[in-house]
Structure 1
Amino acid sequence: MNKPQIRAHGLLDLLRLVAAWLFYSSTIFFHGSYLSPLLVHGYPEAGSLAIYGYMGVNLFFLISGFVIAWSAEGRNWTEFAAARFARLYPGFLVCMTASFVVQTLAANPTLPYDPSTWAANLFIVAPAFNRPFVDGVYWSIVLEIVFYGWVAIALFFGVFSRWKLQLGAAWLLMSVLNESVVHSTALQMVFITQYAPYFAGGIIAQHIVAKGSSTEALLLLAAAFLLSCKEVTAGADWMQAHFGFSPPLSSLLAANVIVYALFGGALLLRRRIAPTPLVLVLGGLTYPLYLLHQKIGTLWLNALSPAVGRWVALAIVLTALLSASFVISFFIEKPIRKPLISLLLPRLNMMASKLRLDRPA
């Protein structure tokens, strides 16, 4: 791994840490305060701030665009695919199975806890098999996989690095057309048009960091931001439909500015703040914590709150989830990643060669 990639990984751990704590701290209150069936004993003290929790996902998608664009540099499509699978799937498999087991033991009435549900979730896209997600947060993992697929296709044709800005511009244009004119659910899923401003914004930001700013890149980044503001207005409509109210549009737009400001600030400070070992450790917890926090977290909170109180229960559950995330990250995910890539890559290359799909990056 070359030096730019090493520096990038330190930066990305710091970015993930910022996103994860924003997301987790707000999402637990968002779910508890507004999705009442999840938490029996909610946290009304969170008040009107809780509803902004869902925007943590937007920050994750923004970071993902940057992360994936950086990790794709210098790789062909088989190397990229093997690396993404090794990064995503082992942690997902462990966390999904743990969540399924906990909900099965708890006899969670919201989940048809039979083996077919677990088996369908092995493929991540469980609704395609007419089975529910084991945990509702998996919808965002599906969008990540769709995004990875398009990056792999661009790497296959050798255009990802050379046409990064053109691809970003085309994606943003498609987002405008579908979200404003066509309104196709199929296009929204296949091209992730609802969240394209965040993914594309991250890709364009990575291009600027790696190759320097240009008028075209800055204009595209500005366009991504403006389109994300439109997506936020759609979020307001969603909240109105589901909860009967939504925050003022001005407040949602301000929250979107904060999302981009956190992302941009971390990029601007990348040479001034060296990631410490603690930051790298905590950054590694973000993926398993995201996968575990919703269903397992709320089940534990519901069980503990009557006995020890809501806030003590929250402290216990958060400590338990962080501990479980540490074990998964450092004793399962990290040790298996390189051996899994070494196992997968020759097989992918062999398959690509047989199918004449072995184009260079």
Structure 2
Amino acid sequence: MTVRPVPDAPSAEPLRPERTGRPRESRLRALDGLRLVAALMVALYHYGGRGGEVTTAWGSSPEKQFPTLHEYFAYGCLGVQVFFVISGFVICMSGWGRPLKSFFASRASRLLPAYWAAVLLVSAVFALPMVAYEALSPSDTLVNLTMLQQPLGVDRVLGVCWTLWAEVRFYALFALCVVLPGASRRRVILFCAGWTLAAAITQAAHQPLLDIVFMPEYAPFFVGGVGLYLVHRDRRDVYGWGIVAVSFLVGQHYAVRSLWNAADPDAFAHRTSLGIVLVVAFGFVAVAAIALGWFNWANWRWLTVAGALTYPFYLVHEHLGWVVIHALHIGLGLPSVATFALTITSMLMLAWLLNRYVEKPLTPRLRAALAKVR
């Protein structure tokens, strides 16, 4: 099964002060930690919870490498849904009280520097003679720098970049419907209700264009995150809780429908419908607990570091992880468990380098340059 995995899930930015004088909120560090948990879930799936290309890296099916754990690793692909819930929460938080230009500058500067670096790095590694993976053509690689390879039908350099295309469409909808006219509780509620209804109609209409715009399979998770931000602002908000409840009910339906493979005798691992529902519920409950302040005590600085590593780790871990697995397991003969642990560690170290030498210097410069554009 091909994974559908940041997600970019944006960083847990503090809320900008509103014009009404509402005090600035402190950073939700627990949300940063949850982002890394979601990224690690996806990594578990890519390294040990699926067949396909990763079999080449291990030299045999991950099912043989991890006879018991591979069944649990198969649920890791649901880390994407957790990412989308977090993204809905964070985008609503970061877009509230912010003008459109500032919102655009913030999102573009957050996504692009690490993404460009990851595309170039993976392309360069795959072009090496000793790496046994097919590299894309120079033309396709250049298209990938635009983030528009998915709608243009161009092969992807990064396997996970399909989620960025979903994120970009969410940003566009939120910007047009909420940020541009000015965020307010009423407008956000109408946005959530309108998108939920439009996504349901899209599912019934079977129109490809509507499907691209309204993303019925992923809309419940973004909308659920937005609803949880309303709850974060006021835990007694009945409309916010209603949005969250409907989003969970619809979202688990789509997750089960796309990932429950009990009828497929050739499936790599057989997820149960209950297991899928429980993982989806974990995503909603975890973000809800953070929104309600139950994890305010988890205010450790290292969680901010974890959040900073999540996006670059998410971008590079899949394909470069396969290269590392092949080198350690096939090349050096390390045991599977040691290879798995060292691969995760090496990808986190690479993520730190990308954050330190790409994101930190380039993100503020790109944000400032875009903010100056009239």
Corresponding residue for 2:171?
Answer: 148
1:132 aligns with 2:155: yes
Question: For 1:49-102, what per-residue CA distance to the aligned partner results, in whole angstroms no more than 9, with x for missing partners?
Answer: 122111010000000000111000111111000000000000101111111111
Quote how far apart the aligned CAs of 1:219 are: 1.6
- Mark the CA change 1:132 to 1:297 in structure 2 (over 3 Å): closer, same or farther: same
Counterpart CA distance in 2 for 1:248 and 1:255 is: 11
Corresponding residue for 1:335?
Answer: 361
1:320 aligns with 2:322: no
Corresponding residue for 1:177?
Answer: 201
Percent sequence identity is 24
1:23 aligns with 2:42: yes
Q: Which of 273, 279, 293 is the equivalent residue of 2:297? A: 273
CA contact (8 A) 2:308 2:355 kept: yes
Any idea what SS the aligned residue of 1:285 has? helix
Counterpart CA distance in 2 for 1:17 and 1:10 is: 11
Counterpart CA distance in 1 for 2:286 and 2:225 is: 13
Quote how far apart the aligned CAs of 1:14 are: 3.1
Any idea what SS the aligned residue of 1:163 has? helix
Corresponding residue for 2:309?
Answer: 285
What are structure 2's unaligned runs of at least 5 residues?
1-15
Q: Which of 72, 77, 98 is the equivalent residue of 1:49? A: 72
Deviates more, 1:98-107 or 1:221-230: 98-107
CA contact (8 A) 2:105 2:367 kept: yes
1:310 aligns with 2:332: no
Quote how far apart the aligned CAs of 1:239 are: 7.8
Code of the residue aligned with 1:172 in structure 2: it is T
Alignment of 1:203-242 (within 5 A): 203-236=226-259
Deviates more, 1:232-241 or 1:316-325: 232-241
CA contact (8 A) 1:288 1:328 kept: yes
TM-score (normalizing by structure 2): 0.84
After superposition, the CA RMSD in angstroms is 2.6
CA contact (8 A) 1:91 1:332 kept: yes
Quote how far apart the aligned CAs of 1:246 are: 3.6
Quote how far apart the aligned CAs of 1:220 are: 1.8
Counterpart CA distance in 2 for 1:134 and 1:107 is: 18
Counterpart CA distance in 2 for 1:305 and 1:74 is: 51
Corresponding residue for 2:213?
Answer: 190
Q: Which of 339, 345, 350 is the equivalent residue of 2:371? A: 345
Deviates more, 1:146-155 or 1:289-298: 146-155
Alignment of 1:33-48 (within 5 A): 36=55, 39-41=58-60, 42=62, 43-45=65-67, 46-48=69-71
Any idea what SS the aligned residue of 1:7 has? coil
Counterpart CA distance in 2 for 1:107 and 1:176 is: 48
Counterpart CA distance in 1 for 2:90 and 2:150 is: 27
What are structure 1's unaligned runs of at least 5 residues?
351-361
Counterpart CA distance in 1 for 2:153 and 2:247 is: 34
Corresponding residue for 1:118?
Answer: 141
Any idea what SS the aligned residue of 1:258 has? helix
Counterpart CA distance in 1 for 2:341 and 2:159 is: 23
Code of the residue aligned with 2:99 in structure 1: it is N
TM-score (normalizing by structure 1): 0.87
Any idea what SS the aligned residue of 2:155 has? coil
More helix, by proportion: 1
Deviates more, 1:14-23 or 1:143-152: 14-23
Quote how far apart the aligned CAs of 1:283 are: 1.4
Deviates more, 1:156-165 or 1:317-326: 156-165
Quote how far apart the aligned CAs of 1:159 are: 5.2
Corresponding residue for 1:256?
Answer: 280
Counterpart CA distance in 1 for 2:81 and 2:188 is: 21
Counterpart CA distance in 1 for 2:361 and 2:24 is: 20
Deviates more, 1:228-237 or 1:260-269: 260-269
Alignment of 1:60-139 (within 5 A): 60-106=83-129, 111-139=134-162
Corresponding residue for 2:7?
Answer: none
Corresponding residue for 2:4?
Answer: none
Any idea what SS the aligned residue of 1:203 has? helix
CA contact (8 A) 2:199 2:219 kept: yes
